[in-house]
Amino acid sequence: STVEAEGIDQISYRQALLIGLYQCLALWPGFSRSGATIAGGLLSSVSYRAATNFSFLIAIPMMCAASGYELLKSYDTLSSSDIVFFVTGFITAFIVALVAVITFLKLLERFKLAPFAYYRFALAAVFLVYMLMTA
């Protein structure tokens, strides 16, 4: 199939929905969320670069929701003096994540993810067999 979306701004609503549905595969142990969304993008006729950028973009709401959920669960044990720790942690995590994403995107220009994808599929199969044997 030909690539329909070369850039992130060319991804259609249909392609975005399909990529989001592929993201659901990450609920299965052994599946990588970013790997599933990048593969979903490629299977939905999105270029490799656009699929990778979109994968990182759609991670933001999920990470915010997960962090907010954990914060709400811990609300009873928090005090106003904890704000300094949260701000410091947020800034540090943001900087480290930004460096990691930029580095990863540069690596993707030189290397492909096929070997990693095969490893993740194999790991997912191992987890499935383990879960079936222990159930």
In this predicted structure, what is the pLDDT of residue 1? 53
Q: For residue 112, which phi and psi values (nearest 5 degrees)?
A: -100, 165
- Indicate the number of domains in the chain: 1
Establish if 71 belongs to a structural domain. Answer: yes
Establish if 2 belongs to a structural domain. Answer: no
Over the chain (135 residues), the average pLDDT of each successive run of 10 is 82 94 85 86 90 89 86 86 86 89 82 76 87 90
Nearest by Cα to 48 from 122, 114, 119, 123 = 114
Establish if 1 belongs to a structural domain. Answer: no
Q: Which amino acid is at 41?
A: G
Q: Which domain holds residue 16?
A: 8-134
